[in-house]
Amino acid sequence: MSDKLEFRPVRPEDCDGIARLFSRLWSWEYPKDYWRQKFFDNPAGPPMSHLALTADGGEIVGCMGGVPLRYRLNGTEGIGTLIVDVGVLPEYRKQRRTYWGVYKPTEADQYNRQTALVQAVATPAAEIIALKMMHFDPLCHAPVYKRRITVRAMIPRRLREKLRPASKAGPTGKWMAAKYLRKAQSLCERHQFTIAESSELDDRFDRLWSQADDQWPISLIRDSAFLKWRFHDHPTRKYIVWIALRGGDLAGYCVTDTLRRDGVARGRISDLLVLPDAPEVAEALLYHAMSYLCGGGADIIVGWFLPRRYWEPLLTKIGLRYRGDDRQIILRLFTAESIRPVIFDPENWYYTGADTDQI
């Protein structure tokens, strides 16, 4: 282990080394193309990310990833930063300067870019560090809504990890897929719209966003540029965008994918946006998404939604329920300090998990 370290901003040529770093830290890995797309193809701008490297060999031993995202903040647009992919190799964690060497310049970038806020989804241990040392404040513990589909989803994780996740639906999955599809079709027929997979994210999504952007005080800006970067062009995950069409116009969309890890296939509802006056579209899209995920072999279906007062009645109706699992959302404000009371009310957030690959 080298005691001499250097610190600098992340560069495109670092993506292979970042992939090696996180493959050592996590029980899974993403290739260099994932990091290149995440950090350098972002329509919101270049990353606010810094690295710790050994001075002798240039090995990456620590990283703090700051991904800029465009937010709608109480009627105005602002840049926020999502702090993700933070890690230091175990043998360098006792050197206090390793962590601060990647954190402090990332913090300086946020000041220089006039960042409105910094958001992170933290484990309990990371949350304690961030609140005590990095001036974060807790927003809330956002609920994860779930529906178990197969018996495998009920097996304890330590046993389930020894199994290979199924790639096809069994009899239960097929039956539930047909059940949910009938419900979606009934809503479509009753309210005269159709649901289809979208292979192109065009200006219809911009128009949808412009009609829905003032529905919530705080939300990610979900225009076509964001959706292409976040979902359509993702190099390692197969996100599918389902659209609801009424008279040729886009009335809403829903994004799904399936994550096969730890011996279970998680069907994820990653994003959902509909016209403010079309709750029946949201319901039909959710039923359709659940049908597709069950038919694709999902053992469990998960979604991550705020505000609870809006989502919980609908999610409970379609069969997704909160069962005590949640994710800790923490924030630090910069230029958005003037609207602190608005931002720190979780009922003001439109949040669907669209900002993360991890649920």
Residues 149 and 93 in one domain: no
What phi and psi, each to the nearest 5 degrees, are found at residue 135?
Answer: 65, 25
pTM score of the predicted model: 0.93
Specify if 122 maps to a domain.
no
Q: What is the pLDDT of residues 301-319, one digit of tens each?
A: 999 999 999 999 999 999 9
Q: What is the pLDDT of residues 43-56, one digit of tens each?
A: 999 999 999 999 88
Residues 101 and 160 in one domain: no
CA-CA-CA-CA torsion for 299, 303, 304, 305, nearest 10 degrees?
A: -160
User: How far apart, in whole angstroms, are the C-alpha atoms of residue 245 and residue 195?
Assistant: 6
Indicate the average pLDDT of the chain. 92
Residues 280 and 192 in one domain: yes
Residues 150 and 71 in one domain: no
pLDDT at 195: 98
Are 26 and 89 in contact by the 8 Å Cβ rule? The answer is no
- How many domains is the chain partitioned into structurally? 2
Residues 41 and 153 in one domain: no
User: Is the pLDDT at 359 greater than 70, yes or no?
Assistant: no
Q: Where residue 218 sits, what CATH number does that domain have? A: 3.40.630.30
Adjacent-strand bridge partners of 140:
329
Range of the domain at 87: 5-115
Residues 294 and 212 in one domain: yes
pLDDT at 164: 76
Residues 102 and 147 in one domain: no
Lowest mean pLDDT among 100-114, 117-131, 263-277: 117-131
Lowest mean pLDDT among 90-94, 217-221, 300-304, 317-321: 90-94
Q: What is the pLDDT of residues 128-138, one digit of tens each?
A: 888 888 899 99
Q: What is the pLDDT of residues 237-254, one digit of tens each?
A: 999 999 999 988 999 999
Q: What is the pLDDT of residues 145-154, one digit of tens each?
A: 999 999 888 8
Answer with the residue of higher pLDDT: 122 or 96. 122
User: How far apart, in whole angstroms, are the C-alpha atoms of residue 192 and residue 186?
Assistant: 10
Residues 96 and 9 in one domain: yes
Query: Binning pLDDT at 50, 70 and 90, where does residue 127 land?
Result: confident
Residues 16 and 150 in one domain: no
Q: What is the pLDDT of residues 257-284, one digit of tens each?
A: 998 888 889 999 999 999 999 999 999 9
